[in-house]
């Protein structure tokens, strides 16, 4: 089952180390507190000693005694290096546009702190502790939408965070008030830092924005895959479909792990359904259901498997130390390319394709319920008084519009690149862009599924006196807590948004749990073993 954060996040303190997806969500979305372990503080102090020693070396060391990017060959005197670090942050905080969501900014802060805690960046422990203070005080810099190319890290977004650490720029405090950073820090009992050698780079050279958005999307999508299975089952019932195609022996002929999971869940949701039983057997005139019903496990399952692979990539990244240069265990400071966002960007794009596909098949099921030529004796558009009422006609338009948008959002960002920094940074991942469009996609998928569930619940009501099964009946019942049953036309947008709210809260999957067929989080290795 899903590992949701506790209802009261103040009861949770996340110790910074290799984080889980669920811990990222707990801190970024639910405000859980964070702390640095004694081991992390020791590791940071040890690597800082290495940087301090190199700061006095006559040989140049990138990020310590040189400029940055295309200016890496420029030696900076010791007396100017504090200004160098501050100038780096000020110049790189060059984002523009509306601020991203607070949970994305908090994920940026948390994941940068996670890398700092590895002791591979040369940061001073006190600087990392200030980042802890911002998170725990609910102080969040407003990170602009545009600025990252997803290589050399999410530079502009992370520089916006770092600007607050030096007491500059603006932040949003725990009350939601936007105010000068220095003022908010003082009110929280925090003091800004003066950055020392290497610290500016350590604060901005990471893939934290795109990774944070990947973690948030994975968490939400895991719930939405379950929701899609419930929606498909409810639509099968509403359309007088068969449950025979979801049988385990049929699914075993194609040993795809995600497909088997979705088929098992749909079958469990339809178990004991009086509606399904009412037309089962030789008297059923239909030979086989349409693809949007019969092939739901294949489409939903492919999405599950895609998310399983994406989670594997996320977990590897969560265990990484992303910075350039890095301080190695033997004391060497080496440049590297680990800040390139390609691994994350690729799975973000992959997930966007699956999101579009699951939404597309959902819309087809909805349309079928509204068409009297295909709905098996349901009234046109599920209207109360055909002609006077339009029923759910335009809800399907809304679905179709979102599906069209999702198809555009499925165009990969990671295949694009644009050179920067005087051609020193001549290939970039655009992973931030992939993450931003996936966030839009997750929201649209939730809305598409909400419309299918709303429509299927109405269709099931119109099948009375036939009754739904226990699980699908529970789905209908939770929808009826916010939306009335069939009747004359009402303001439909309000009803759609009410069901969207249920999905955002996880109320539908909570009301209709399939404990006999739980969703399993799998790594690629797990899936390979099961396939064998």
Known catalytic residues?
Answer: 62
Reference 144, options 165, 167, 161; nearest CA is 161
Whether residue 108 contacts residue 28, with contact meaning beta carbons closer than 8 Å, is answered with: no
CB under 8 Å to 439, separation ≥6 — which residues? 101, 104, 213, 216, 217
Q: Give the DSSP letter of residue 63.
A: T
Q: Cα 77 to the chain's mean position, in Å? A: 44
Give the Cα separation of 233 and 243 in Å (integer). 9
Give the Cα separation of 378 and 382 in Å (integer). 7
Whether residue 170 contacts residue 225, with contact meaning beta carbons closer than 8 Å, is answered with: no
Give the Cα separation of 233 and 456 in Å (integer). 9
Query: What b/e sequence results for 9-39 when a residue is b if at least 16 CB atoms lie within 10 Å of its CB, and e otherwise?
Result: beebebebeebebbbbbbbbbbbbebebeee
Give backbone dihedrals phi and psi of 343, rounded to 5 degrees, phi first: -60, -40
Whether residue 158 contacts residue 208, with contact meaning beta carbons closer than 8 Å, is answered with: yes
Tokens linked to 67: 């400029």
Give the Cα separation of 126 and 50 in Å (integer). 16
347, containing H or E segment: helix 342-370
CA within 13 Å, CB half, 332: 5
Reference 202, options 113, 106, 287, 316; nearest CA is 113
CA distances from 93 to 76, 113, 157, 421 (A): 21, 18, 7, 15
56, containing H or E segment: none
First to last CA, the chain: 24
């Amino acid at each position: 089952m899903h590992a949701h954060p506790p209802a009261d996040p103040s009861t949770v303190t996340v110790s910074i180390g290799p984080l889980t997806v669920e811990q990222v969500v707990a801190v970024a979305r639910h405000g859980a507190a964070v702390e640095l372990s004694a081991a992390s503080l020791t590791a940071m102090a040890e690597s800082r000693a290495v940087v301090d020693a190199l700061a006095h070396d006559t040989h140049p060391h990138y990020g310590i005694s040189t400029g940055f990017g295309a200016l890496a060959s420029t030696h900076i005197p010791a007396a100017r290096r504090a200004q160098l670090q501050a100038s780096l942050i000020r110049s790189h905080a060059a984002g523009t546009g509306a601020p991203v969501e607070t949970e994305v900014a908090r994920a940026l802060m948390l994941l940068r702190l996670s890398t700092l805690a590895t002791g591979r960046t040369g940061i001073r422990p006190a600087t990392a502790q200030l980042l802890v203070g911002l998170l725990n005080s609910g102080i969040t810099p407003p990170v602009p939408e545009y600025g990252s190319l997803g290589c050399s890290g999410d530079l502009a977004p992370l520089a916006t965070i770092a600007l607050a650490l030096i007491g500059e720029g603006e932040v949003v405090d725990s009350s939601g008030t936007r105010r000068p950073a220095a003022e908010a820090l003082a009110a929280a009992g925090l003091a800004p830092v003066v950055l020392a050698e290497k610290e500016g780079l350590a604060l901005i050279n990471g893939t934290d924005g795109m990774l944070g958005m990947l973690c948030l999307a994975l968490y939400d999508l895991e719930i939405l895959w379950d929701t899609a299975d419930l929606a498909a089952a409810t639509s099968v019932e509403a359309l007088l479909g068969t449950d025979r195609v979801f049988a385990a022996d049929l699914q075993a002929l194609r040993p795809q792990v995600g497909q088997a999971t979705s088929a098992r869940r749909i079958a469990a949701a339809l178990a004991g359904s009086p509606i399904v039983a009412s037309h089962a057997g030789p008297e059923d005139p239909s030979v086989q259901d349409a693809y949007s019903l019969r092939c739901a496990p294949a489409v939903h399952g492919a999405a599950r498997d895609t998310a399983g692979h994406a989670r594997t990539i996320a977990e590897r990244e969560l265990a990484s130390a992303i910075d350039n240069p890095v301080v190695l265990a033997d004391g060497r400071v080496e440049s590297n390319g680990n800040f390139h966002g390609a691994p994350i960007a690729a799975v973000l794009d992959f997930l966007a394709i699956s999101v579009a596909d699951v939404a597309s098949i959902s819309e087809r099921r909805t349309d079928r319920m509204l068409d009297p030529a295909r709905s098996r004796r349901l009234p046109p558009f599920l209207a109360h008084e055909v002609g006077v009422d339009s029923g759910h006609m335009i809800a399907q338009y809304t679905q179709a519009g979102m599906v069209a948008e999702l198809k555009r959002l499925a165009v990969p960002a990671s295949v694009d690149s644009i050179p920067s920094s005087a051609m020193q940074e001549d290939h970039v991942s655009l992973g931030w862009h992939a993450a931003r469009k996936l966030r839009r996609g997750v929201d649209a998928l939730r809305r598409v599924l909400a419309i299918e569930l709303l429509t299927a619940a109405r269709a099931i009501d119109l099948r009375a006196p036939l009754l739904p099964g226990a699980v699908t009946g529970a789905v209908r019942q939770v929808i009826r807590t916010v939306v009335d049953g069939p009747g004359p036309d009402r303001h439909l947008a309000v009803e759609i948004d009410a069901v969207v709210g249920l999905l955002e809260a996880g109320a539908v999957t909570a009301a209709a749990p399939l404990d006999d067929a739980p969703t399993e989080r799998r790594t690629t290795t797990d899936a390979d073993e099961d396939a064998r």
